[in-house]
Amino acid sequence: MGGPSSNGHLTAVRTSELLRFATAGSVDDGKSTLIGRLLHDSKAILEDQLQHVVETSERRGDGYLNLALLTDGLRAEREQGITIDVAYRYFATARRKFIIADTPGHEQYTRNMVTGASTADLSIVLVDARNGVLEQTRRHAYIASLLRIPHVVFCVNKMDLVDWDEAVFDRVAEELTDWSARLGIPDVTFIPISALEGDNVVERSERMDWYEGPPLLYHLEHVVIATDRNLTQVRFPVQWVIRPNSTEHHDYRGYAGQLAGGVVRSGDEVLVLPSGQRTKIQAIDTFEGARECAFPPMSITLRLKDQLDVSRGDMIVEPDDPPTSARELDAVVCWMSESALRRGARYQIKHTTRSARAVVDQLEHRVDVNTLAHQPASELALNEIGRVRLRTSAPLIVDPYARNRTTGSFILIDETTGDTAGAGMICAAS
Amino acid sequence: MNPLAYELAHLDALEAEAVHIFREVAAEFERPVLLCSGGKDSLVLLRLAEKAFRPARFPFPIMHVDTGHNFPEVLEFRDRLIDELGERLIVANVQDSIDAGRVAEETGPRASRNRLQTTTLLDAISEHGFDAAFGGARRDEERARAKERMFSFRDDFGQWDPKRQRPELWNLYNGRIRKGEHVRVFPLSNWTELDVWQYIAREKLEVPSIYFAHRRQVFKRDGMLYAFSPHVELVDGEEPFETSVRYRTVGDMTCTGAVRSEAVTLQAVVAEIAATRVTERGETRADDRVTEAAMEDRKREGYF
């Protein structure tokens, strides 16, 4: 079994994978306690940090070890007892290194949840066993599904307060199985836990022998994530052209970027978009030397067989199943700005390594994040989610978000303030 | 499909993310600069820049803010390394800021030039017209840094406003700034101290000798061991003595503490760090101990 081992991550350095997970929840559902326990039991909380929490909890008169103080780093947060935005925490076991994107779960923080979820491989949704499935549980699951987080773990917490009752757990699991199916979440796991007492967090609970699955940490260490990324359609947004202009590398011309989809091999036939020219991959270069093959999310440099005019914003793709070159996008947008999105408004759009201008042609509807109902809307305010139709000043090379999280996503930037105003996921394009 | 064939080791995943950020900044900003102290994090940055841009040269210069109280071993190391890399180094001296009357030297036994660096840094950024500055800060270092973005915006006074940070989604970074503003870019945000050391070991990077155990004249203050040097003034009861120490962080000599250690090899240092029970800044940085929000306050002023 894969319990945490404090020395293991030295020897296992070559095989340990990185898992990014997001947690969302409010103050009293035990989220901080759960994170605190994962960090503490994996030795990621060090003595001076713990000492700080002890002293501050006492001074504030919290009456308990307030583990939220570990993540709430800013003075305003500590003073007001709130979490302003996404806090990132790190811990490691022998098998994996973990990045936690910890976000507050209240509706008014939807934008933070979306931000944390955008890079997550897995989402932990906490359910208080006493209260069962609440509106916010459904909302958290919806956001995980919207951002296409492949794995969702529902931790039914505070099982100690319901006498470790299997029936309580089953009821929650049944209800959320239906909801998850409706949302189309591919992999759903249910774990009964007590974050406070540690049951089924790191160690198996002996008080819930009716539960046959693994504890949470074991699941986090073993869930297969390597195949979650699109490994079938090659997508390589060109980020930077490497041209040394030195006598030693006189004719060198390499296209650098982070592979967004597919497995590329030296010798593969490829298509360059938007020009539509075909060529072959001459070599896959890295600092260490040439590689035979590469897969996402590796940062690599491609050299092509023919001398073509390729620059930043272009995409090198596979010829058989290329993305769409589109100026009209149907997308779901989560709004992140205090100045509302309205029909006719113009923004800067950034998609992969390409930027353009975009105008909102249509605001189709707003999504009620608690019921999924579509409502007619004349604007999208901060933290609201809706479906829009955008027209762009130049073609973007896109896939549906459901197919590729990198080539299917974009951000909208307010041209006046420069702020990131919205996050978009492409449904269809033409 | 065999999923094991497409597993990426965590250091490779962190490296791919950081390289992506380096290239993104090079493409979207006009005048980036890489801030380098010669410490372990900046050495990792330099290696990542090599991974991002070789066989070409870096599309930006390297800048060191020299307090004048740096460890001589580190300065010697810095010069040799940059020379080997064949890149351009700019040194911004705190002494010059003092001589020009931009800042006043602190006095007394606890005087430090740590805080003065901020002015020197901001002056240099403005003098050279830099619009993006890479730094080696990590979110695991300190509470205020845990809230930091990869792209951290600074207004025309170099100030950081934690409440006005831009959300960062996927790997799409928004680099839009107005004239006079600049961005601090932290490609190592998601790295921990242990990741940095594991990477140094994996990449066989040379690091300054002060990271390994050595005999040194030190004195004890506030529970920490400091180097005895001409830059510090002892107070009553403080006695220099010689012992075997190493450094976990490289900063100004006057505010960087040493830890007792016998670890003379990289392997031994990594083993000690894996077993440590105190954070690197908690153990060795007096500058963070002034108040609970010492780092947040300095960051707001434009510190690294």
Residue A240: predicted pLDDT: 98
Residue A70: predicted pLDDT: 64
Residue A5: predicted pLDDT: 36
Which of A225, A224, A147, A136 has its CA nearest to residue A184? Answer: A147
Does the beta-carbon distance from B194 to A242 stay under 8 Å? no
Residue A147: predicted pLDDT: 96
Q: With cut-offs at 50, 70 and 90, classify the pLDDT of residue A112.
A: confident
Pick from A224, A298, A351: CB nearest B16: A298
Interface of A with B in 347-406 (CB under 8 A): 348, 350-353, 405-406
Distance of CA A19 to the CA centre of its chain: 10
Residue A71: predicted pLDDT: 59
Does the beta-carbon distance from A299 to B271 stay under 8 Å? no
User: B51-70 pLDDT, tens per residue?
Assistant: 999 999 999 999 999 888 88
B300 touches chain A (CB under 8 A): no
Among A122-136, A405-419, B261-275, the least confident range: B261-275
**How many inter-chain contacts (A to B, CB under 8 Å) are there?**
205
Residue A12: predicted pLDDT: 38
Q: With cut-offs at 50, 70 and 90, classify the pLDDT of residue B233.
A: confident
Q: Whole-model pTM?
A: 0.91
pLDDT at A2 over 50: no
A59 touches chain B (CB under 8 A): no
Residue B147: predicted pLDDT: 77
Average pLDDT over residues A209-218: 96
Does the beta-carbon distance from A49 to B275 stay under 8 Å? no
User: A311-322 pLDDT, tens per residue?
Assistant: 999 999 999 999
- Average pLDDT of every residue of chain A: 89
Average pLDDT over residues A160-166: 97
What's the DSSP call for residue A62? Answer: -
User: Distance (Å, rounded) from C-alpha A350 to C-alpha A424?
Assistant: 10
Residue B287: predicted pLDDT: 59
pLDDT at A4 over 50: no
Q: Which residues of B touch A17 (CB under 8 A)?
A: 7-10, 13
Give residue for tokens 């002034």. B290
pLDDT at A142 over 50: yes
Residue B250: predicted pLDDT: 80
User: Distance (Å, rounded) from C-alpha A339 to C-alpha B242?
Assistant: 62
Backbone angles phi, psi at B183, to 5 degrees: -120, 135
Q: With cut-offs at 50, 70 and 90, classify the pLDDT of residue A8.
A: very low
Q: With cut-offs at 50, 70 and 90, classify the pLDDT of residue A9.
A: very low
